[in-house]
Each structure stands twice: as structure tokens, then as C-alpha cells.
Structure 1
Amino acid sequence: MTTQAERPRPQLDAWVEKTRAGITAGRFPARAFNDQAVYDLEQERLFSRAWCFLAHESEIPSPGDYVTRSIGNNNLIVARDEHGDIHASLNMCRHRGNVMCKTEMGNASHFRCSYHGWTYKNSGELIGVPYMKEGYESRLRRKDWALVRVRIDTYEGLVFGTLDPEAPTLAEYLGDFRFYLDLYLKHGLDGVEVHGPPDHWIADTDWKICAENFAGDGYHTPVAHQWGFNLGYFPSSGSTHSQGWAVSVPGKGHGIGLGHSPGFPAFGGFPDDLAEEMKQALTPEQVQVFARTRTAVGTVFPNLSFLMQPFSLVPGEPGVRFVTMRLYHPAGPGRMEMYSWCLVPKSASPEYKAEAYRAYTLAFGQAGTFEQDDFENWTKVTRSAGSTMVKDLDFPYVMGMESEPDPDFPGPGRAVTPYVNDTNFRNLWSRWGDYLAGEA
């Protein structure tokens, strides 16, 4: 019996083309959320070519600081060298392929292989080879055997990498979505920083379910997080919850949901001094879009997401704003590594940073209330998607098929209302299909 992973590639390519046509018609295959062949194709055609998030610069602030992160099935060392420059290298010794760095974060000027002792600078250059004269008779050219470099670029402190030397620039890749990223990254004139190490765990769920949810799924909130309405965390329910916009960047896959609440104050949840700094850091158009936004939840294609909202259990009070940044790293069909950070304004007081981190932990930390709600659903969706009867079933993505862009929306991209809409998801899956078809 031939398994899905063993099927001939032409048959899988035909499935991709059928899937792309279905996306246009508002349908998406359930199989995509837990399938070995789909996972393998994503590794080959998506994660080998897209720009993927690696780290925030504030995680490695000093010379020698490093973290280990991954793009697809490639583990990387992201390090700041003695000159302050950031490098990303494959976490593999060039001699026999041993893992060079076995810890997730730390500080080191050099990395020494535990197998044969080859030693590299944290920028990747090979500088030490045991028995160089006796064993290699000085024939080995060290400069030919540096760690494998990975192309990187940054935006407002975010470090991205791509395995494709021919990929467009990061600025081209992000496109107009930079306008919306600034909502999360320009809190104050000095920008943001991570507060504490990231939460990191393994989950039996597919990365795409999470990326879709954070591209603006306001539809699930009154059901999955109903307790928030019952306790007064959300000031409304039903019809008023759907106010706002779903904004996508056509052809890029990025999307954001901007949720509004009646009577919510401008920049509510921020201290007055930070609110004033944000108004200076943002453009007038960004202020117009963001000032009344209560909840902003967005995804940078393929697997980096952000959420900003105030947290308060006191009805009528805006509470304290927090920002979570999260990476869904694929670790197999129906399985992923979850990274979750709290971002805080650099210029904020220690008291505000502590309160924002507390709000993040209660809501979207590893044991947060919202996080538990979501992962309970996501793991069950993934389990269902792997069953034998599901391989030929589709899910409906027809909400908002007739939505017209809001002509008065002051920001870039395609903004439709209400916020509860499938437009962003169709855009996300369309770009996913481009990559899997080799046409991105």
C-alpha cells in the first residue's frame, strides 16, 4: 500500500493546483493541516525560500550573545560578533556535521565542536583545527570551511533570514505590511525590546492553524473565549465585537485584524507619556488607523504573529496594554515548536514593563487563559485533520467573498469590514499555494 508521503510528485503537484483553484472559490483542504507529503513540500518549497523570523535584536544585545533558532528543518546560530554585527550560520560543524552549539541561548566568542575540536569565531570563520600541520600537512584552507552563512536582514529590531540567495529583499517581502508592523514595534521613540526569555514548548498542532488564527480570526473569540465576555474582560459581545477591519496585503500573505470597541479611548491601556511618544513615532495615517484600535492581531507570512490588546478584569477600565510576538516553527506533520515573547517599550518605566509582562503571562503565556483556550481547539483540529476520512474534505472560506475594500480606510492594503471575515485567510492560503506550486 502506497502512503501519502510515497505518492509520485506529479500527483502531489496536481493536488496543489486543485487546492489553489479551491482557495479562489473559498475552499481549503483539511488534509493540509496534518499530512506528511504536504509537510515535506513545505520544507522544500516554502521554508527554503521565504523570509522567516529568527530573533529580536534585544535578545542578543551584547557582543558574544547568541540564540539558536530554525528555518524549516535547518537549525541556526544567530550571534552578535565582537564588532556588534549580527550573523546567522548553520549550526553544523563543516568537518563531520556535528551540532556546534547545543544550548538555546548564551554568550560565547567562539564555538568549539565536541567531536574533533574544530573551532569557529561566533561570526562563522574557522580559526582552529587540531593537528593542522601533522594531520592535514597544512593542505586544508581554513577559509574554505567556515560555517554555512545564512542571509539575514532586519526591520525595526526583527531579524529575519532566508535560505534563498535569490529571494527579494526583506523590504520587498514585507511590503506595505510594515505600516502595520509599526503598531507593535514603535511603542515610544526608542522602539521595543523583549522582556524575559521566550516561552518555548512543543505542541501537537499544525503551524498553519495558528498562523491563520492570528491573521485576524475574530470569529472564534465570542465562542472560544466566552469567559472574557462573561467576566467583563470584553466590553461587548456579538455585533459590536465585529467592529473594525480585516486588512490584507494582496499577493504577500500578510494580514491583520483591527478590532474596535464602542467608547474605547484613544491609545487606551498605554500610560499618557507612552501614548504621546507613539503619536510622534507613527505617521498621521498610522495614528488615524491605530488610535481607536482595541485589539490588533496579525501574521507575517508564513509563521510569525503578533497580538496587542489591553488586559483588565475591571469593567469599564482599559487596563494595561501588552504585546505578544509568537513564532510557529514546524516540527513535523501536525506538530510544531512554539515560541512566545512579550514585547515592551524600551523607554517605559520598570513598573509598566512588569505590569505588561504580567498581563501577557495571564493571557498568552504558556499557561495563559487565552493560550489554553486556543491550543485546546488547535490540537483537536490537527488530530481530526490526520484521520483517513478527512483526506478529501474541504473547509469553507466563503465569509466576506463579496466584501468590497473600504475606500475611506487611510492605510495601505485591502481593508474590508466587518473585522469578522475570511478575506485575510484566503490571502494567506493563496500565498501558501504560490510557494507550494513553485511560483512565489
Structure 2
Amino acid sequence: MTTTQPGYWFDNALALDDIESGRYRMDISTGRYVDADVVRAEHDNIWMKVWQAAGRESELPEVGDWKEYQLLDQSFLLIRGRDHRVRGFVNACRHRGNVLCKGSGNAKRGILCQYHLWSYDLEGKLKGALRERENVLTQLDKESLGLLEVSVDCFAGFIFLNPDPNAAPLREFLGAEVVDLLEPYRLDQMVTVLDVREALNCNWKVVMDAFSEGYHISGIHPQLLQVVMIDPSTTRYRFFDKHSVSCAPFEVAGKKYGLEEQIEGIMGLPETFPSVTAVLPRFAELVGEYRDEAGVLNLPEGVTPRTLLQRATRETLTGMGFDVGGLTDAQMSDNNGWVLFPNFFMTVRAGEATVILAQPHESGDPNRCYWHILSVMWLPEEHREAFAAAHLEVTEAGSFPYFLALQQDYEQMPRQQRGLRNTRLEHMSLVKEEVVIAHFHSVVDRYLAGAAQ
């Protein structure tokens, strides 16, 4: 391994003690969570101007596949053209503005408006109209009446959309460093194994805040403390113009933190992190190599349960045909937490990632939003169809069984929103361990002030 690998960002990244006091504002106005005027300001200054993840490329595998992407009061159409490129359009007929598509489907022959039967090809060009041969379009410029295109691009297997047709390229918005750090994970090769969207009774920024810090684990996820050791002093941070990444090295907690307790903790990880299951057989074999005839475990200097887990992960994924050559050993075990402005949070390590997208509610109510959970995993070809998940829109609150940690967050976030509505509470007071939240809100500040380019 060479130190030129992107994953070595951690070695020279900021620790909490390196972040100077006052770098980011730590008091956040509660008004931005509950004020309808803020919703309108965000609509104009953030959502209509930024790149945002609108789904996975795998949702549109065939020519003509389409899906609707709704954002507040705006509706967009994503469709894969005959050249296999995904494009985006305003989801409205150029004749009388009728919505063209709802949900998802396939329109290999083109897009047909059901109101007056105007039709468009997969590239958005107007093909024809009802009674066209009777010169109904004589006075209209057919060439200028194609669908209104919006900016769409793909990265890491995700479809990104920007409502601004003159937006700078996606990779410019992300930044070269972000692209370089994420590409080695090969997220575009992973299969979606969970795809759930549900309305929540909280502001979209409450969701982003909740997943941007580990300070709440002791209070909301006490079960995790039985498995994972939380040590803020070992967390490292990297801040970009609009985005950020942080990482707390994976350490297994144990009753006495001895070797056997750490091994036991790793073997119990699937209860919290199901994807570890595939790695455990090789991990058990590696541990067995260091036991003597009496079964006593003796690890030489430099070998720990963590390094054995990393080795087992690399060997297992490589053996299944997944290229992890661009990832460091630490990335075999350590989840990196990414915030891509404005609404994309992801934890990612070798072979898997969980993404949480937060989006304002179309009603415009600041006390409501959507969260969209996307879990992706690398799987051998023969297992992909069996584990691939279709999109699920949850319409009955509480009906979907999230895994424990997500369920705990699901229940907590509306509680916070109820507290934020108290008029006497004018601001939140962040602690240093919540610096990622502070950075995120500094970007929100810039956009709301209209200063972002």
C-alpha cells in the first residue's frame, strides 16, 4: 500500500482539538427549522440551484425507463434515452402544462401527454400532436416546443439533478477532492438492497443534523455501546467548500476490552451491521490460526482483532470478485461519514454504504419532510437479483420495520421538532463534537444569503 491512496486522508486530517474555536458558528437559530419564510427562501436559494441525488441509475436500466422526481411544488421527469444517457425535464407538457408522468414506468416509444395527445421523444423533442395533419400546429414553432431540460448527471451510481439548466457541472459542484476520495469505493457497482421513502414530522435539516454526529449514540442507541467503542478523541474531520467527511476508527467494545471480548463483539456485529455476516467465516479462520492447542488466543505485535477483521474483509470481497485495491486497510473496517450538501448523508466502507436523503415536504410545511433510505452493497452476479430491493413508498406511519438504530432515530427526530417549535427557544447550542453540523449550517447560511455561486 502506498500513502498516495485517497483513503489516507484520515492520517493528516483534523482532530477536534485542531479545530480552532470560532471557525464555525455553534448557535443555530431555531427559526430555520420552523419558519415558513425559510422554506420559501430555501426553495429559491438552495433547492432550485444545487445538485441533489434523485435516485440510483439502476432504477432506470432500460431505454425508455422513467421516474418522477418531486421537489416541493416542482416535478421533474428522469428518463433514459436511446443513447442510454439519463436526462431530466420539467414534468409538464409544453401545450397546456399537464403533468406527463406520475410514479415510474417505461415509455420506449416516447412520452405521450394524455390531455391533448401531444407526444415527445426520449430526448424531449416534440414529435407530434392530435390532428397535426389538419395543420393544428401551423402557427407553432415545433422545434422550440420540446420539453424543458434540467441538468442531470450521474456519479457513484446515483442520479443527480439540478433544476438550474445553466448549473455548473456536477463534478465541479462536488469538487475534485471529493470525487477522488469516493471513486475507489466503486459505489456504481453496488446493488440497492434497501430503498424506502417516508414522510416524517420534522424539518429536513433535523434529519441532516441527526446523522452528522455521534454525540447522541449514548442517549438514543445504547445498544451500540455494547458493540462499538465511542471515543471522540480519535475522530478525524475534513471540510470542503460545501461538503465534509468524518471518521471514527472502528473499535469493538468488550466487558474488559480483552482479546476474547473483542472477538466476541465482532462475532456479534451482524445483529447491528448485517453485512458483516459474509466476512465472519474468514475472520473466524484467521483468529483460529493464532490459537494454541489449548485454544488460548495469542496475537503477535501488530495484529489485533481489528486488523484481522480488515484482512478478512479484504480477502472476502476480493474472493467474491470485488476490486478493493484502491482502498486502505482502515476502509475495510471504518465507516466514513459523508455530508454532500444539501441533503445527502452517507456512511461507507468497503463493499457497502447506507445513504440517507432528506427532502422538504411538498406541502411546504417546515415541520414535515421526507427521509429516503438507500442501502447499497456489492454482491456477486449470481446473488444480485435475489437481494435487489424495489423502491417502497411508506404511506402508513410506523408500518415499516426499520432496523433498530434507524428506528430509534425515526422516533427521536419528531420529538426534537416538537421542542424546536417552542417560541422561547431561539437557538440551539452545539458542542464541539457536533462540528459537522456547524459546518453544514455555515453552507446553509451562505446560500440563504445569496452569496453562493
**TM-score bracket for this pair, using the shorter chain length:** 0.7 to 0.9
Distance in 2 between residues matched to 1:297 and 1:268, nearest whole Å: 22
1:251 maps to what in 2? 241
2:451 maps to what in 1? 439
The equivalences for 1:278-293 within 5 A come to 280-283=323-326, 286-287=327-328, 289-293=330-334
1:264 maps to what in 2? 306
Pair 1:301-2:331 in alignment: no
Distance in 1 between residues matched to 2:112 and 2:384, nearest whole Å: 41
Shift of 1:292: 4.0
Query: Residue type matched to 1:44 in 2?
Result: D
Shift of 1:249: 2.4
Shift of 1:245: 2.5
SS of alignment partner, residue 149 of structure 2: coil
1:8 maps to what in 2? none
Distance in 1 between residues matched to 2:429 and 2:312, nearest whole Å: 36
Distance in 2 between residues matched to 1:35 and 1:42, nearest whole Å: 11
Shift of 1:50: 1.1
Distance in 2 between residues matched to 1:290 and 1:367, nearest whole Å: 26
1:416 maps to what in 2? none
2:199 maps to what in 1? 202
The equivalences for 1:212-231 within 5 A come to 212-215=209-212, 217-229=213-225
Number of aligned positions between the proteins: 364
RMSD between superposed Cα atoms in Å:
3.1
Stretch moving more, 328-337 or 257-266: 257-266
1:28 maps to what in 2? 28
Stretch moving more, 426-435 or 378-387: 378-387
SS of alignment partner, residue 342 of structure 2: coil
Distance in 1 between residues matched to 2:328 and 2:322, nearest whole Å: 6
Query: Residue type matched to 2:355 in 1?
Result: M
Stretch moving more, 165-174 or 348-357: 348-357
Distance in 2 between residues matched to 1:212 and 1:277, nearest whole Å: 36
Shift of 1:166: 4.2
Measured against aligned partners, the alpha-carbon deviations of 1:296-318 in whole angstroms (never above 9, x if no partner) come to: 332211001212479xxxxxxxx
2:376 maps to what in 1? 343
Q: Is the CA contact 1:246–1:424 (under 8 Å) kept in the aligned structure 2?
A: no
Q: Which runs of 5 or more structure 1 residues have no equivalent in the other structure?
A: 1-21, 311-320, 358-364, 400-420
Distance in 1 between residues matched to 2:316 and 2:389, nearest whole Å: 15
Distance in 1 between residues matched to 2:435 and 2:34, nearest whole Å: 23
Relative distance call for 1:347 and 1:178 in structure 2 (3 A) is farther
Q: Is the CA contact 1:308–1:322 (under 8 Å) kept in the aligned structure 2?
A: yes
Distance in 1 between residues matched to 2:166 and 2:98, nearest whole Å: 28
Shift of 1:96: 1.4
Query: Residue type matched to 1:195 in 2?
Result: V
Pair member with larger Rg: 2
Shift of 1:351: 8.2
SS of alignment partner, residue 24 of structure 1: coil
Measured against aligned partners, the alpha-carbon deviations of 1:374-429 in whole angstroms (never above 9, x if no partner) come to: 12111121222233333xx1111241xxxxxxxxxxxxxxxxxxxxx222222111
2:367 maps to what in 1? 334
Q: Which runs of 5 or more structure 2 residues have no equivalent in the other structure?
A: 1-21, 253-304, 391-399
1:129 maps to what in 2? 129
1:313 maps to what in 2? none
2:191 maps to what in 1? 193
Give TM-score scaled by structure 1 length: 0.74
The equivalences for 1:378-417 within 5 A come to 378-390=413-425, 393-399=426-432
1:106 maps to what in 2? 105
